[in-house]
Amino acid sequence: MAVANTTKTSWRLQEIVAHSSNVVCLALGKNSGRLLATGGEDCRVNIWAVSKPNCIMSLTGHNNPVECVKFNNSEEQVVAGSQSGSLRVWDLEAAKILRTLMGHKANICSLDFHPFGEYLASGSMDTNIKLWDVRRKGCVFRYKGHTQAVRCLAFSPDGKWLASASDDSTIKLWDLTAGKMITEFTAHTGAINIIQFHPNEYLLASGSSDRTIKLWDLEKFKMIGSSEGEMGPVRCLAFNLDGCCLYSGAVDSLRVYGWEPDRCFDVVSVGWGKVADLAICNHQLIGVSHKLTNVSSYVVDLTRVKKSGSVIQGVIQDDQPLTEPSPKGSTLRRNYDRPLTTCSTQRVKQSSESDRRSPEGERRSPSSEDEKESSAEIRNPEDYKEIFQPKSPGLLNLPVASSTPVLRVEPTVVATAPRPIPVVTARPPTSNHPPAPHPAPPPVVAMAKAKPQPSVILSTRNEPIGLNVGDFLPPARNNRPSVLGDDEALAQIRKGHDTMCVMLTSRHKNLDTIRAVWGSGDVKTSLDSAVSMKDLSIVVDILNIVNLKPSLWKLDLCTSILPQIEELLQSKYESYVQTGCTSLKLILKRFWPLISDTLTAPPSVGVDITREERHQKCKACYKQLKNLSNVVKNKADQVGRHGSAFKELQLLMAPLDY
């Protein structure tokens, strides 16, 4: 056993040869701080116990280099994204492939598991973000907005939001239940490498290649701090477990930051090179980095690091005293609603296991052959059983040190870390809350069939389609609604208004732009501007106005709007379909006779430029109408109001076939 070092603040724990070819990515398990996943150019994902030299498991299945890896919160699953854009999820306890997900068109750059529901987010060099339902192997939503690679993704602690950071120097905040962007932060001047939510408060930290760290208030959606002084790009961020300070990892250094006002409490020199990930456990910070085929792990003793008090570097004035820290438990911002029980862990596990056994789940797989080729090779059976298949509930024990004398390890480095214990009863653990007079509800049955999705989303819908809102919320303690006090009730009423205001402000801004163009009297230019915004909701708003006054329609307008009508008719939203049907009906009634007469008229004598232009426009409209006739024909068999509207359109479009 190596002799404990009682004087150093940081030291290297060990260096291992992790892959047969270059290591591309790393990820630490944030729950225990003791598990490490590595991905390499050899297309493998290897699982390690920090401070042990031997690989526990080697996961195969990817046919391209692994570019990104991530553990789920309980460290029972790991997901890996490849250079080709495919994802694979492994169940580490069962030692087998769980899911293969295909859909991205380029390298996977970022991954994160949802804290409660069985959802997974992935970001790619194709600039898209996809939200996956791990149970059904399906992409639930695609979030578009970034213009370059999405480098980092993070779910909020309450599971309601997803933050994304990109090489385009922007951070976007997405509302999962609404499926829309809430706001965008644009103060960074370089690619953003890392984002991290505060564990309790509505606060987000971001680190960039511009060598700055910025903090964002998620209630007011504004920047509240910007710290400078890093010697290189900021690669990793981690809030202290109690949220009192922020740790920043850059080349060979760790910095400790405070905010409001911005200040740097401490700088620790660590020889970890380009650190790739950080985790905190037992008052120690673990950092990992890679170079070629090797992976190195480092330890920083946080008991020797300043987290408050004197400032060694900051942007505040010398004559301005530091504000006293807030009393413990009080914050400047609202706190997240956190889960009160561990029942969600049980639901995750039951759902995944039952889905694997379900024949229905097997039929849903579009790539079962890929899964057969995937494997989880257990390299170290003893460590595997100790960590992933404990015989009795207990602690994850890791050895004190490698026998290699060159590695120096503090005794506290290997102190036992709690391992999540699978819940075998539906009763929540004891807490400070008074016991319920009735027994706790039974766990959610994972085998229940999913609610079928309607082909058309009604205008009067009261929930997003394709998502169960409850999956993104902390589990309830019991079935009985809790009685809220006046303050809590008012907070619930106000909740979400900021989000809605940001969304409506963005839409209002776009409509103001259209209105400014509309003021010139050029309706076509207004519609062209709406189309260029690539937001169908804006196009629908403009069409609803134009449809009320048919005299505004001109032939020029038809050529611009017919391609948009095709999208509207195939939309899932009832209101979009209705607007598209109304517009198409007006076009057919007003312009079909003109289009037909122009195209069937004999050639004119001499040169008539106006007639030639009209002929070209009519020809373009006819071609677009022919495409639309196929869409209408396919939808005319529907029942109800939509079926009637499409049948009427089919009759109006009948002359197109002659």
**Which tens digit of pLDDT belongs to each residue from 300-343?**
999 899 887 655 544 443 334 434 444 444 456 788 765 543 33
DSSP secondary structure letter of residue 413: G
pLDDT of residue 322: 39
Residue 452 has pLDDT above 70, yes or no: no
pLDDT of residue 639: 63
- What is the C-alpha R_g of the chain? 29
**Is 580 in contact with 565 (CB distance < 8 Å)?**
yes
Cα–Cα dist 650/632, whole Å: 6
Give the number of other Cβ atoms within 10 Å of residue 79's Cβ. Answer: 27
Model pLDDT for residues 215-234, shown as the tens digit of each residue:
999 999 999 999 877 778 99
**Is 186 in contact with 176 (CB distance < 8 Å)?**
no
Residue 347 has pLDDT above 60, yes or no: no
SS3 per residue for 453-490: CCCCECCCCCCCCCCCHHHHCCCCCCCCCCCCCHHHHH
pLDDT of residue 82: 92
Q: Which own/partner pairs from 435-440 qualify as long-range (CB within 8 Å, at least 24 positions apart)?
A: 436/477, 436/478, 436/480, 438/478, 438/479, 438/480, 440/477, 440/478
Helix (H) or strand (E) holding 493: helix 486-494
Model pLDDT for residues 123-160, shown as the tens digit of each residue:
999 999 999 988 877 888 889 999 999 999 999 998 89
**Best CA proximity match to 140, nearest among 159, 158, 124, 118:** 118
Cα–Cα dist 514/509, whole Å: 9
Residue 451 φ then ψ, to 5° = -65, 125
For tokens 């790619």, the residue is 124
Residue 453 has pLDDT above 80, yes or no: no
Cα–Cα dist 175/140, whole Å: 14
Cα–Cα dist 173/163, whole Å: 5
Global pTM value? 0.58
pLDDT of residue 433: 42
Given strand 77-82, what is the order of strands in its sheet? 66-71, 77-82, 87-91, 96-101
Residue 437 has pLDDT above 50, yes or no: no
Cα–Cα dist 237/108, whole Å: 21
pLDDT of residue 474: 61
Model pLDDT for residues 152-211, shown as the tens digit of each residue:
999 999 889 999 999 999 999 999 888 889 999 999 999 999 999 999 899 999 999 999
Residue 352 φ then ψ, to 5° = -70, -40
pLDDT of residue 570: 83
Cα–Cα dist 93/565, whole Å: 51
Residue 539 φ then ψ, to 5° = -60, -40
Angle between helices 555-569 and 523-532 (to 10 degrees): 30
Q: Is 564 helix (H, G, I), strand (E, B) or coil?
A: helix
User: Domain 10-307: which topology?
Assistant: Methylamine Dehydrogenase; Chain H (2.130.10)
- Domain positions in the chain: 10-307, 469-474+486-656
In the structure encoding, which two tokens stand for residue 457, read together?
A: 């989303």
Percent of the chain predicted with pLDDT > 90: 29
Residue 118 has pLDDT above 80, yes or no: yes
- Alpha-carbon separation of residue 128 from 44, 146, 292, 564, 590 (angstroms): 25, 7, 29, 22, 41
More confident residue, 346 or 477: 477
Mean pLDDT lowest among 238-247, 401-410, 487-496: 401-410
Average pLDDT over residues 430-450: 40
H helical segments located in 95-182: none
Model pLDDT for residues 585-622, shown as the tens digit of each residue:
888 888 888 888 888 888 766 666 777 888 888 888 88
More confident residue, 436 or 37: 37
